[in-house]
A and B are shown apart, each in its own frame.
Chain A
Amino acid sequence: MLHTINKSPYTKNSLDTCLRMAKEGSAILLIEDGVYAALTGSEITSTVETAMKKHTFYALSADLEARGIQDRVIDGIKVVDYAGFVDLAAENSGVQSWL
């Protein structure tokens, strides 16, 4: 399943809840303010790095660029464009949008 996170990890617990419930091997795509979870050197970084052992993480390039953080993404998070978002939605059995 593809999980999308569109809220900042500092203001909402969407990412935490997603990580608690997502089946191992899920795809997790960070979009909109959710891309702030991709920041390296932050207090969230270790949470994401630990979760990356179980899940594949993606972040939407347009939202990273809008926020000026495209050069600060944790190693191993795959950056995708809108077409890549569509591919992920098509490849996975379903999409869970954590709001």
Chain B
Amino acid sequence: MADEMDEMMEGGEIKKLMYMTRTAPYGTVYALEALEVVLIGAAFEQDVCMVFADDGLFQLKKGQNTEATGMKNFSPTYRALEMYDVEKLYVEKESMDARGMTEDDFIVDVEVKTSDELTSMMEDMDIVLNF
């Protein structure tokens, strides 16, 4: 991954970059770490998209309230992605349907994509980073 980041910083060429996130928000730290990487990576001004697949889409669930657990609710931060020019947010349809979720459940506007659609998008990327 370090090599990929070095590559990104070299030259002025804009790369197509996909962040694939597949973990639920609080059980592990992966989701929060992914979000932080995306926000930091935004400084490199690449052509970025984020894919929420499997339990990753639970990161975007509306109405999270972590008060009783004593953890930090980082879900409002997804609303800030737009300001960092991370505007292409995709949710995999198959994952969404399996979990009984709909587009209305999410804290930000997303585009729902089938796994077939994501297949071709992935092929079109220069770099795919997984969390």
Contacts and interface: CB of A to CB of B under 8 A. Distances in A.
Contact of B64 (A40, A43, A66): A66
Main secondary structure of the interface of B (DSSP, over half): loop
B69 to A, nearest CB: 5
A42 B100 CA distance: 4
B55 A39 contact: no
List 10 A-B pairs, minimum CB-CB distance, nearest first: A41-B100, A33-B27, A62-B68, A68-B63, A42-B100, A68-B61, A68-B64, A66-B66, A65-B65, A43-B98
Interface in B66-82: 66-69, 71, 73, 75
Nearest to B98: A43
Contacts of B54: 10-11
A36 B99 contact: yes
Main secondary structure of the interface of A (DSSP, over half): loop
A45 B69 CA distance: 25
Nearest to A6: B27
Interface residues of A, number: 27
Contacts of B97: 43
Interface of B: 23-28, 54-55, 58, 61-69, 71, 73, 75, 97-100
Contact of B100 (A66, A72, A81): A72
A65 B67 CA distance: 8
Given A68-B61, A68-B65, A32 B27 contact: yes
Given A43-B99, A62-B69, A65-B66, 13 more contacts: A11-B54, A11-B55, A32-B26, A32-B27, A33-B28, A36-B58, A65-B67, A66-B71, A66-B73, A71-B63, A72-B100, A81-B68, A82-B68
